[in-house]
């Protein structure tokens, strides 16, 4: 099917990019492919019922027992700002849209959700606030309370993880160029954040700098995902193993020679893919939420 997808327009008349969410699976991260039982895309702007949506993107998963939640950016075409919305699932494959759970007077995206010490947290992208912000589920998953600023400055796609007794945060320090990667660490989630002495980690390289989803621990080592923004923003996703990570040192190597995700043959992801959140399931394989971009009417 070669249908192009009309949608709400920007105030200047241009079409928004047609991002939507799909479900992938694989025995390993390197073999992720469309889930055999999923009807991709599994979540689109058409399913958003509470705001005039232009697209959905940046999906993050959270699982407790047999309950799955997905948090996504919904672009509100009326305000021109992203908001954070919730979807639910019983199996991680079929999803139902629930509604917006967090909005601010500035753009929100990349709802990086995680748990720590029995609490639920989210660190979305909050460029308009001039800081990386921490929110707490209060109550999870439908209400979110601002806790504090973690890091001053505008960092795109902030990605947190815990490793070797410290908290770490990767973010893109040049959101418009997609070509800089910065690293911060702290002894605790809420305090003491400092930038790594190698700063920035990456600059002038839009093929591997901007984060592209949850940092994933595999065989005891962190793996980060990065957007390849050539020839355009959101073309594909690459994976890098962090082979050395300490308050004074950093090294990484790419997993494989090809992107872990890239443009597909279906309309929904034909123009590119730029996000990945993989979750290991009971049999040791992986289930992941991804996003893809489709052609739209000019």
The token duo for 76 is 């509100």
Higher pLDDT, residue 4 or 251: 251
In sequence order, what are the residues at sequence separation of 6 or more whose Cβ sits closer than 8 angstroms to the Cβ of residue 194?
184, 185, 186
Mean pLDDT over 106-128 rounds to: 98
Give the pLDDT mean for 158-163. Answer: 97
How much is the pLDDT for 11?
64
Strand segments (E) across 65-108: 67-76, 81-89, 96-102
Structure tokens belonging to residue 204:
């002038």
User: For position 14, what pLDDT does the model report?
Assistant: 75
Mean pLDDT estimate for the chain: 95
- Give the per-residue pLDDT at 65: 87
DSSP code for 240: E
Per-residue pLDDT at 2: 39
Judge: domain 18-294, CATH 2.115.10.20: yes
What backbone phi and psi angles, to 5 degrees, belong to 239? -120, 135
Let me know: does 236 contact 273? Beta carbons within 8 Å.
yes
How large is the average pLDDT for residues 141-166?
97
For the chain, domain boundaries: 18-294
Q: Under DSSP, is residue 32 helix (H, G, I), strand (E, B) or coil?
A: coil
Q: What is the pLDDT of residue 91?
A: 96
SS3 46: helix
Is the confidence at residue 258, as pLDDT, over 60?
yes
Q: What is the mean pLDDT of residues 15-23?
A: 94
Q: In the predicted model, is pLDDT for residue 138 greater than 70?
A: yes
- Look up residue 270 and give its two tokens: 């034909």
User: What's the CA gap between 280 and 290, in Å, rounded?
Assistant: 15
- pLDDT at position 296, please? 81
- Residue from 154, 212, 170 nearest 29 by CA: 212
- pTM of the complete model: 0.95
Q: Are 56 and 19 in contact (CB under 8 A)?
A: yes
């Amino acid at each position: 099917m070669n249908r192009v997808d009309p949608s709400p327009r920007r105030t200047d008349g241009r079409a928004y990019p047609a991002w939507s969410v799909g479900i992938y699976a694989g025995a390993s991260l390197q073999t992720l492919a469309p889930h055999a039982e999923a009807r991709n895309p599994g979540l689109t702007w058409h399913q958003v019922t509470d705001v005039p949506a232009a697209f959905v993107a940046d999906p993050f998963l959270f699982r407790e027992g047999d309950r799955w939640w997905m948090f996504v950016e919904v672009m509100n075409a009326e305000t021109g700002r992203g908001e954070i919305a919730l979807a639910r699932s019983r199996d991680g494959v079929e999803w139902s849209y629930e509604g917006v759970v967090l909005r601010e007077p500035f753009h929100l995206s990349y709802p990086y959700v995680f748990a720590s010490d029995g609490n639920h947290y989210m660190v979305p992208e909050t460029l308009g606030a001039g800081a990386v912000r921490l929110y707490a589920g209060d109550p999870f998953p439908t209400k979110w309370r601002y806790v504090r600023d973690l890091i001053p400055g505008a960092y795109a796609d902030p990605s947190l993880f815990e490793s070797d007794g410290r908290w770490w945060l990767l973010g893109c320090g040049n959101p418009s160029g997609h070509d800089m990667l910065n690293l911060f660490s702290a002894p605790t989630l809420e305090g003491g954040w400092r930038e790594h002495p190698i700063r920035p980690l990456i600059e002038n390289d839009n093929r591997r700098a901007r984060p592209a989803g949850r940092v994933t621990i595999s065989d005891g080592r962190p793996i980060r995902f990065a957007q390849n923004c050539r020839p355009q923003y959101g073309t594909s996703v690459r994976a890098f193993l962090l082979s050395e990570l300490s308050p004074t040192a950093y090294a990484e190597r790419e997993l494989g020679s090809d992107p872990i995700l890239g443009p597909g043959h279906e309309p929904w992801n034909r123009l590119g893919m730029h996000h990945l959140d993989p979750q290991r399931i009971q049999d040791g394989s992986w289930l992941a939420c991804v996003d893809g971009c489709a052609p739209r009417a000019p």
